[in-house]
Amino acid sequence: MGFGCMRLPTAGGRIDVDAAEKLIVSAVQRGVNYLDTAYIYNGSEATLGEIFARNPGLRDKVNVATKLPISRCQAQEDFDKYLSRSLERLKADHVDYYLVHNVTSAGAWERLEELGIEEWVSRQKEAGRIGQIGFSYHGPEADFPVLLDSYDWDFCQIQYNYLNEHYQAGTAGLEAAAKRGVPVVVMEPLLGGKLAGELPRAAKAVLERAGISADPVRLALRWVWNHPEVTLVLSGMNTMEQLDQNIETADGASPCSLAAEEVRAIEMARESIAKSYRVPCTGCGYCLPCPKGVNIPMCFAAYNASFAHGWYQGMQQYITASGAMEGKARFAGDCVQCGACLQKCPQHIDIPQELFRVKRRLQIPGLPAIVRMGTRVITR
């Protein structure tokens, strides 16, 4: 199990460095030795750098993975610039695992080849600034093997969980990588927490009928670890309770260890989860900030919840998503379809179109005015 550092604990809207330190030090003490961050994870690299500075010797006990923001790279100098900045933030002279971040097609890699990335990676490896080179993938299933064969990769990283067997790289991609001897790091085993929270009523009923009482997190993680082709599973943890639970699960999980009835129950529950999971948003936040202040992932979470747990619960979440309590209510209907978010979404969601659906389902006439008036009264 690796520690995913995209969603570190926060306080007052910023990363809570003390809380993150407690978690990471505890995780390392208990055997976690892989920390995954990225240049674009707001404040994450610098937080890890600060934690390493506060804890002499910690850096040498872990493998650090970070990622090159390829969408910002237009020339080979940009590769240098972003790696150097990552190293500065991490207060380190090398990264153990460096990923080309968010490759969405075979063509995206071809563009980097034209910029000379292969020769650049060789130089960085020789200089000891990069240990292993890999890529994180969010493209179509068909392009994944093409990409695997395009370069001599040390490892790859894919989104994989029991709801995404046929989405992006999927099971076919996992098996293709294993066949080529390329180790696979799995991200989003809980689909941005969607498989961690309360499962939709129908899915819970299916599991209960099958006599499976395992909690959703444990079930979802064990499903991923059940695949012998998986090398490492990343989990973003931001409380000690989550860390304890995941370590306990990891200790008891090994390939092919799920009982046949557990696998069957997950397969049956998957169908009902998929039905209520209308927008495949993982909550990564890459699309933010929206110039109109729309909290895109929270709008989608509310929309999905309205199918999974009932319209009323979705509506409650939608009002929270609007930021009303912070006195700046913004709704899905505030989207002006500028398109600024579109290229940033690794799930390729047509955000303006989906926000329109959110508006249609949850934004009852007059809601923004009522919420804004209510907020004024409460905060007066």
Site residues, ligand SF4 (CB under 6 A): 281-287, 290-292, 294, 296-297, 300, 335-341, 344-345, 347, 349, 351-352, 355
The answer to whether 80 and 118 have CB atoms below 8 angstroms apart is no
- Which residue lies nearer to ligand SF4 by CB, 32 or 345? 345
**CA dist list (Å): 250 to 32, 47, 246, 255, 295:** 10, 25, 6, 11, 34
- Which residue lies nearer to ligand SF4 by CB, 187 or 253? 187
Closest CA to 185 of 160, 168, 162: 160
- Which residue lies nearer to ligand SF4 by CB, 22 or 344? 344
- Which residue lies nearer to ligand SF4 by CB, 168 or 226? 168
In the numeric block, which tokens belong to residue 209?
């009928």
**DSSP state for residue 64 in the 8-state scheme:** E
Minimal distance, residue 335 CB to ligand SF4, in Å = 3
The answer to whether 93 and 131 have CB atoms below 8 angstroms apart is no
In the numeric block, which tokens belong to residue 306?
């309205």
Q: How many CB atoms lie within 10 A of CB 107?
A: 12
Spatial neighbors of 207 by CB under 8 A, at least 6 apart, are 199, 213, 214, 219, 265, 269
- Which residue lies nearer to ligand SF4 by CB, 170 or 297? 297
In 3-state terms, what secondary structure has residue 211?
coil
Residue with tokens 């030795």: 33
Spatial neighbors of 285 by CB under 8 A, at least 6 apart, are 297
The answer to whether 135 and 153 have CB atoms below 8 angstroms apart is yes
Minimal distance, residue 145 CB to ligand SF4, in Å = 24
Minimal distance, residue 289 CB to ligand SF4, in Å = 8
